[in-house]
Amino acid sequence: MLLYFLVYQFFHNYCPFTSVFPFIYDIVYSINIMNTFDNTITVGIVGAGAMGSLFTFLLHPHATVVMYETNELTVNDIKKNGLSIEYDTQIHTINPVISNHPGILAHADCIFIFVKSFATKSAIEAIKPYIKSDAIIITLQNGIGNVPIIQSMATNPLVYGTTTIGATRLTAAKVRFGGEGQIIIGGDSYRHNSFLYSLLQKAGLQVTITQNPDKALWEKAIVNAAINPLGAILEVPNGALLYHDYIKDIMRNIIMEAADVGLAQGIDIRGNDMIITTFQVCTNTKNNYCSMLQDISAKRITEIDYINGAIIKTAMHYGIATPYNATVYRLVKYKELLL
């Protein structure tokens, strides 16, 4: 470990060809990071919803984790009662550091954005004056459009991708783990990707680094487009969507439409492969209630505009018909009117 540190310091401070061979520098940096992870790393979590709370629980043994949440009632509840995670049939309670002031993120080395897509802009506006310029921003959010919003507002390093891990928010301070899943990440440098990869692996999570995170975003959006609106409309957990051929047929058509739109956008997506993937996600998270249903049940606005809505908007640009996506979109928007 000392050898890694000394080599890293040499490259970092003295070696003139790090600018010529940045890849070598990135490798040495990554080796150093992988061998020095401990609680000196500070992780920021923006949003104390289901995923933000779950990742706080998973990461807290391996880093100092701080949470930023705008809802004062949620902040006070977690401060008073702790954050409880129902995981593997057991209840685990931790007491994370949490605040409704973005200054809590001032010392964070990396910051996960776990707010809803419609709140991404306001979240970045709030935290930008307080975070370090070299803090890595990470988004694993649902939907299409979060990455360009973040890139247009912050110059920080950005790692982005997707996760199929499931979680259900039971109360403001209690979350149920909904099922194992994969995390796919990519970003602006090998160094930043490796930093995050190491952190997530330490937490026991399945992580893959991809050269094409935009494809991963589209694939996740297609999975969400098939599962989330139907789960919200029918008010059933993910696994129940596979019980009847009628529903599976609707899912297939939603997926094939969205895959055609992705191809028009230049994303190499195969509809039949996405059908298999989506059905597998339903199986893996069979007990999980999708985030869109959780939002409807809690009388909150959903992310439908950033999932099926974004697919429909992109399809219109290319003159592609998306009747199945349009139908479930309208039905969810109607349910929002009833909130």
184-198: per-residue pLDDT in tens? 999 978 899 999 999
Residues 6+ apart with CB under 8 A from 102: 68, 126, 127, 129, 130, 131
In CATH terms, the fold of domain 215-337 is N-(1-d-carboxylethyl)-l-norvaline Dehydrogenase; domain 2 (1.10.1040)
- What proportion of the chain, given as a percentage, has pLDDT over 90? 78
What are 29-68's pLDDT values in tens digits?
Answer: 444 544 545 568 999 999 999 999 999 999 999 999 999 9
Tell me the average pLDDT of the chain.
89
- pLDDT, residue 112, reads 98
- pLDDT, residue 37, reads 53
**Catalytic amino acids?**
220
Interval 104-111 mean pLDDT = 98
pLDDT at 8 over 70: no
Residues 6+ apart with CB under 8 A from 99: 66, 67, 68, 69, 75
Query: What is the pLDDT confidence band of residue 89, given thresholds at 50, 70 and 90?
Result: confident
pLDDT at 130 over 70: yes
Q: Is domain 42-211 given the CATH code 1.10.287.3510 in the classification? A: no
- pLDDT, residue 25, reads 44
Residues 6+ apart with CB under 8 A from 41: 62, 63, 64, 109, 110, 199
What are 215-255's pLDDT values in tens digits?
Answer: 999 999 999 999 999 999 999 999 999 999 999 999 999 99
CA torsion, ordered 111, 66, 289, 164, to nearest 10 deg: 40
pLDDT at 20 over 80: no
| Domain boundaries defined on the chain | 2-34, 42-211, 215-337
Contact 148, 49 (CB under 8 A): no
CA distance 144 to 241: 23
Q: Which residues pair with 99 in a beta bridge?
A: 68
What are 270-304's pLDDT values in tens digits?
Answer: 999 999 999 998 998 888 889 899 899 999 999 99
- pTM listed for this prediction: 0.83
**Pairing of the two strands 42-46 and 110-113:** parallel
